[in-house]
């Protein structure tokens, strides 16, 4: 469920306006999708989600809805924005229950199966935890974020031994970890109250540049001679006490690659 994790990392979890109806909720989240520069031009997310809802209600039960916009192009990344309502939205769901969690997706053609797997994993994780009550009864976005991270952890755990499930136990705190016997790596807690520490790594043919909020930690990570290989493999890799997840990468001229990553505490 990497796109949900990335949305939480990037601050795309929103409290929906109190008393908002389905149309207003869809319009609100569609504006978030439209603001994403990676969504292909010519698509109006608001119009597309309304058209899709006319074809069939996207509530999937359990107080969850997954409206979506399908891209016309194959390439691109799965992208989502997440809305939460404590009182619930009358989504006209088939079970007549209010929707408390709305995850709106942009789905490029090549990501259709990934989207379906993500939704399936989310539903399974909610059922496994006993239902939507931790979300419907939450008092603020921090509580919602924490519960979503637990569901992401559970969902990724069902994906296989190489997933990051057991690694995503995110807590707000500054953590210390040893990268090499001779050096200590401190991954600082975010200052915005979020629970995912993000950083970038620029790999060039001759060196690596780690771009993060803590200069000492970034310098130590740059000393790892296997850093570029670990990032290129695309799998989660570990520092003591932490897991490093590659959320996206982009290739630039002169054999330069920019990786977007998150550091996740495994307490």
Q: What does the pLDDT look like over 63-108, one tens digit per residue?
A: 999 999 988 888 888 999 999 999 899 998 888 899 999 999 999 9
Dump strand ranges (E) for the chain.
Answer: 13-15, 59-61, 64-65, 68-70, 79-89, 99-107, 175-180, 183-187, 197-203, 208-211, 237-239, 242-252, 256-265
* pLDDT value, residue 186: 39
Alpha-carbon gap, residue 68 to 134, rounded angstroms? 24
pLDDT at 196 over 90: no
* pLDDT value, residue 239: 67
pLDDT band for 266, please (50, 70, 90 cuts): low
Condensed to tens digits (0 to 9), the pLDDT of residues 199-224 reads 889 988 888 888 877 677 777 788 88
Helix (H) or strand (E) holding 193: none
What domains can be seen in the chain, in order of their start residue? Answer: 2-165 (3.40.930.10), 175-265 (no CATH)
| pLDDT higher at 103 or 198 | 103
β pairing state of 59-61 and 79-89: unpaired
| pLDDT higher at 172 or 237 | 237
Highest average pLDDT, of 64-78, 149-163, 239-253, comes from 64-78
pLDDT at 157 over 80: no
Dump strand ranges (E) for 90-174.
Answer: 99-107
Q: Are 168 and 226 in contact (CB under 8 A)?
A: no
pLDDT at 162 over 60: no
Q: What is the mean pLDDT of residues 40-54?
A: 85
| pLDDT higher at 165 or 37 | 37
């Amino acid at each position: 469920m990497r796109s949900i994790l990335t949305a939480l990392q990037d601050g795309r979890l929103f409290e929906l306006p109190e008393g908002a109806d389905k149309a207003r909720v869809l319009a609100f989240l569609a504006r978030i999708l439209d603001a994403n520069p990676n969504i292909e031009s010519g698509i109006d997310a608001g119009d597309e989600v309304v058209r899709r809802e006319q074809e069939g209600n996207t509530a999937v039960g359990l107080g969850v809805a997954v409206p979506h916009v399908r891209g016309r192009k194959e390439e691109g990344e799965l992208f989502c924005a997440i809305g939460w309502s404590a009182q619930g939205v009358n989504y006209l769901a088939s079970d007549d229950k209010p929707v408390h969690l709305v995850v709106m997706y942009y789905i490029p053609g090549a990501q259709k199966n990934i989207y379906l797997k993500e939704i399936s994993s989310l539903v399974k994780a909610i059922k496994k935890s006993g239902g939507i009550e931790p979300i419907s009864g939450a008092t603020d976005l921090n509580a919602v974020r924490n519960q979503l991270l637990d569901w992401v952890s559970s969902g990724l755990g069902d994906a296989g031994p190489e997933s990051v499930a057991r690694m995503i136990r995110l807590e707000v705190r500054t953590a210390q970890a040893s990268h090499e016997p001779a050096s200590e790596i401190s991954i600082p807690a975010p200052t915005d109250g979020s629970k995912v520490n993000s950083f970038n790594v620029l790999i060039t043919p001759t060196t690596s540049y780690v771009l993060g909020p803590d200069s000492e930690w970034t310098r130590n990570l740059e000393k790892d001679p296997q850093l570029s290989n670990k990032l290129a493999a695309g799998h989660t890799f570990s520092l003591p006490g932490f897991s490093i997840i590659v959320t996206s990468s982009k290739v630039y001229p002169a054999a330069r690659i920019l990786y977007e990553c998150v550091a996740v505490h495994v307490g």
